[in-house]
Amino acid sequence: MHYVGQPYETDQLLSVVGSKRPIQDHLERLFIQLVKNPRDALFLDPFSGSGAVSRVARKSGFNVVSSDIEPFTFIPNFVYLALEADDLATMFQEYGGIDAYITMLNLQGLYAASSNILPDEGYISMHYAPRDDESYDGTRERLFYTRSNALFIDAVREEIERNWITGKITAAEKCVVTASLLYEASRRANTSGTFTSYHKKFGSFEKSALSRITNMCELRAPVLPDWPTQRASVRLCPAEDAVSGRSADICYLDPPSTVHQYGSTYHLLNSIAMWDKIPVDNEKDSDERLLNRAGIRSDARSTYSEFCSLKYAFSALHRLVNRIDTRVAVLTYPQSGVLQTEEVLDILHQRFKQVRTIAVSKRNQGGRQPHRKAKSLIEHIFIAGKGPVIQAIVETDIGLIDMIARLRALDDAVFSSMQPLGPFEFIGAAILKRSWHDLDIRKFDPADLEIWIHCMEQAVLNDLQPALEQLLHVLTHTDQFQVDGKEKVIIEKRILSLLRKSADPEDSETFEHLRCMIERSCEGNSTLLSQTQSISEAFASRLQFGLRML
């Protein structure tokens, strides 16, 4: 089985309008160019949204303060910005650990979906899904979700809330599983990315997204940093409040650039996040057609943003730029935004002596897509500040972005056998000892970097079994490979990660084979065997339930 590890920066990342996921590499390269020692630098992100840029900043080593005004953003951002991988190991102890708890939630959700039964009245299934997935009328009932997935969401979200209220799980534990549910709720929605409308048929008339929408929701544990990093501060507040009283090294501004208010655009995600079950307007006309087709929350305007207003966007950005206290401001804004590029430049020039711009193309995400091939949009990156740092930024420096993307892919790779390459060292000749973020790659010759990266790429073990065999060999020969205690723990975590990746219901034989490999090789390692057993039991429960479903 071939495996591809989901990197921390994009794991269960919500797709929202204006997402910066397509230009994460550009911004990452820019940030580390602007600040030589990010571990001593404060990074402000007052329009964090999905957290795509804050994750990049955290991985680069910055001390991040991330905030947004929409409630649904807080939960996943808290999980991915304020927690670490080690935190997960101690969570959900009353239920046998995180794998066991997530398996329990998935089973409850699947049972509700298959039996069409909920212990309590379902909020999502009653107001935002049809009564029958095979026979429905989109003018008389909402089709944001299939009934099966709506029942899953109701059952799981209700169980999470009940466990939290009764003190069986902590607020942090509640966030971990709710973040995964929000991702699934976003991914399985019968929409083109926003919740102001839904397709008249599941998957649209062309049924181009049918499998995405009709496949069952399934929660999973987050991929969190397992390397030394700083915990971010995550807040829920307006941008002006977020920047007040803070002196930053980099203030990253990504203001809303569309006329559509996010409170309306993502009202369902807010409802799932808060689970306040706000009354839904189901009024119908004389023909029994819904008058409020989208069922938008009555309080959606509570997060009204002037940045989405043709009338007030300029003054809102002008006011914010004059309030920030930062050495460097980095602002991203699309070519097709509410404000013209010249207006953004005018605002920045009034405050900063030096303003540079970089234009990059990005694929449109998080909204209605054109029927033709993916539309390439222009995103402007504005860099404003003073001093030689801004002067030094030139477009040719962005050429290193390709190398950064390749290095990022190698962070979680397992290698056949590697000797030190320049600044790159390895644990047991199998995995990188340090992330490339800990290196100042600017001081190396690009030609040398190309050679080192190419050598590592050639040695990557892309299949699960040889990758696991290599790690087990290192783990059982720690003296030979001069692996210390901390490095041994890193190897063990990587082994468990590979085992989880193999947990595919359609290929249970591979999982069983790899599990046996671990148990045979590590008979005396009680900690690793216990965690292996926990993963195995969780997979067995999921597999057994799937067979009953059939």
Cβ atoms of residues 357 and 380 within 8 Å: yes
DSSP structure class, residue 216: P
Instruction: Indicate whether 294 belongs to any domain.
Output: no
Instruction: Indicate whether 3 belongs to any domain.
Output: no
Pair (374, 236) in one structural domain = yes
Q: What Å distances lie between residue 51 and 305, 331, 378, CA to CA?
A: 19, 15, 21
SS (H, E, C) 352-415: CCEEEEEEEEEECCCCCCCCCCCCEEEEEEEEEECCHHHHHCCHHHHHHHHHHHHHHHHCCCCE
- List of residues 6+ apart from 27 with CB closer than 8 A: 20, 53, 56, 252, 330, 332, 381
Pair (339, 447) in one structural domain = no
Instruction: Indicate whether 8 belongs to any domain.
Output: no
pLDDT at 408: 77
> Where in the sequence is the domain holding 318, given as residue range(s)?
21-83+229-260+305-393
The whole-model pTM stands at 0.77
Pair (367, 255) in one structural domain = yes
pLDDT at 186: 97
**Domain of residue 43, CATH code:** 3.40.50.150
- List of residues 6+ apart from 435 with CB closer than 8 A: 59, 227, 411
* Dist CA 119 CA 287 (whole Å): 32
Angle between helices 171-187 and 267-274 (to 10 degrees): 150
pLDDT at 31: 93
Pair (357, 374) in one structural domain = yes
* Dist CA 58 CA 367 (whole Å): 27
pLDDT at 362: 64
Provide the token pair at 131.
């009564």
Pair (69, 153) in one structural domain = no
pLDDT at 435: 77
Pair (198, 312) in one structural domain = no
Instruction: Indicate whether 201 belongs to any domain.
Output: yes
Pair (457, 378) in one structural domain = no
Identity (one letter) of the amino acid at 550? L
φ, ψ of residue 191 to 5 degrees: the values are -140, 180
* Dist CA 121 CA 354 (whole Å): 58
* Dist CA 459 CA 466 (whole Å): 12
Determine the Cα angle at 293 with ends 371 and 263, to 5°. 80
Pair (91, 70) in one structural domain = no
Continuous H helices in 49-97: 52-59, 71-82, 85-89
Helix or strand holding residue 250 (H, E) = strand 247-253
Pair (76, 178) in one structural domain = no
Cβ atoms of residues 355 and 278 within 8 Å: no
* Dist CA 242 CA 234 (whole Å): 10
Determine the Cα angle at 47 with ends 46 and 51, to 5°. 105
* Dist CA 89 CA 385 (whole Å): 42
Pair (121, 182) in one structural domain = yes
φ, ψ of residue 37 to 5 degrees: the values are -125, 80
Instruction: Indicate whether 430 belongs to any domain.
Output: yes
Q: How many helices (H) and strands (E) does the chain have?
A: 22, 9
Q: Residue 154, Cα to own-chain centre: how many angstroms?
A: 22
Identity (one letter) of the amino acid at 114? S
Q: Which of 288, 286, 289, 270 is nearest to 278 (CA)?
A: 270
Q: Based on the structure, what is the number of domains in the chain?
A: 3
* Dist CA 326 CA 346 (whole Å): 18
Q: How many C-beta neighbours within 10 Å does residue 322 have?
A: 10
pLDDT at 506: 78
pLDDT at 207: 58
- Give 10-residue mean pLDDT values along the chain (550 residues): 69 93 90 91 98 97 98 98 96 96 96 87 95 91 96 98 98 99 97 92 69 94 93 98 96 97 98 98 93 96 97 98 97 94 96 88 49 55 79 51 76 90 93 79 82 93 94 94 93 92 85 93 91 88 53
Order of strands across the sheet that contains 247-253? 233-236, 63-68, 42-45, 247-253, 325-334, 376-385, 354-363
Instruction: Indicate whether 47 belongs to any domain.
Output: yes
Pair (418, 499) in one structural domain = yes
* Dist CA 57 CA 250 (whole Å): 10
Final residue of a structural domain among 372, 393, 414: 393
Q: What Å distances lie between residue 378 and 309, 310, 390, CA to CA?
A: 21, 20, 22
Q: Which of 314, 299, 298, 352 is nearest to 330 (CA)?
A: 352
Pair (63, 156) in one structural domain = no
